[in-house]
Amino acid sequence: MAHQTGTPRRAPLSRARVLSAAVALADDAGIDSLSMRKLSQDLGVVPMALYKHVANKEELLDGMVDVIVGEIGPPDPGVDWKAAVRQRILSARRALLRHPWASRVLETRTTPTPAVLDYQDSMIGMFRDGGFSVDLTHHVMHALGSRMFGFTQELFEAPSMEPHVQAAALRQMSARYPHIVAIALRTDHDEGSVVGLGCDDQFEFEFALDLLLDGFDRLRLRGWSSTADLSDA
């Protein structure tokens, strides 16, 4: 009990410890609560101590992305390219859904981190192994965009209100935005019944992903090339 008095000796800081504390803070308190000052407080350290392990806040965010992208499971061996790509992307999606801030931070990165490059390189390899040309693979990777990490920018979350408040709001909107209201209620002009509100994000994600993968396959089979599209559809 006497062998250590006064201010407790802290476990020495390391880049890994800084990053995992940052991930934990963002997970618990939200990305807006992640500041260098608050992070240093969590680590029981003076703010400037962080700057020995991380050049600045941008590099901290880069490191956090690397941690999450590193959590993405490896590809299943021995399945065709479409199944492999699909499984990998859905695995990435699960990793990002565990850390709600991660997709938002990933979007703001300007330089890819090593884990991101590893991930992209292996995904390109899946397409190449599946018989895609370098040319087609290039465009296909662009077409995937952020979807290759398992997310898309969800614009405008539907505001959560009490059901009958929401019904009243929609009734008021229907004069000016008839099509939006029809879709929100999943109802046609013909049938008056309301099917339901809210969207199944996972369904929407897989719907668009499969649409793209099928489109990619069709171009591959057709021998598509950007310089000369031999379209016979």
Residues that bind a copy of itself (CB under 8 A): 106-107, 109-112, 116-118, 120-122, 124-125, 128, 133-135, 137-139, 141-143, 145-146, 152-157, 159, 173, 176-180, 182-183, 186-188, 199, 203-204, 207-208, 211-212, 214-216, 219, 226
Candidates 16, 24, 35, 207: give the one binding DNA (CB under 7 A).
35
Backbone Cα Rg of the chain: 24
Residue 47 near DNA by CB under 7 A: yes
Distance CA 149, CA 187 (A): 33
Which residues does 198 contact at the CB level (< 8 Å), separation at least 6?
Answer: 158
47 binds, options a copy of itself, DNA, none, Cβ within 5 to 8 A by partner type: DNA
Q: Least distance to DNA from the beta carbon of 54, Å?
A: 8
156 torsion bin: left (phi>0), alpha (psi -120 to 50), beta (else):
left
Question: Where in 58-97 is the site for DNA (CB under 7 A)?
Answer: 58
Q: DSSP labels for 5-65?
A: -SSPPPPPP-HHHHHHHHHHHHHHH-GGG--HHHHHHHTTS-GGGGGGT-SSHHHHHHHHH
Number of residues forming the site for DNA (CB under 7 A): 16
Q: Which residues bind DNA (CB under 7 A)?
A: 33-38, 45-49, 51-52, 56-58
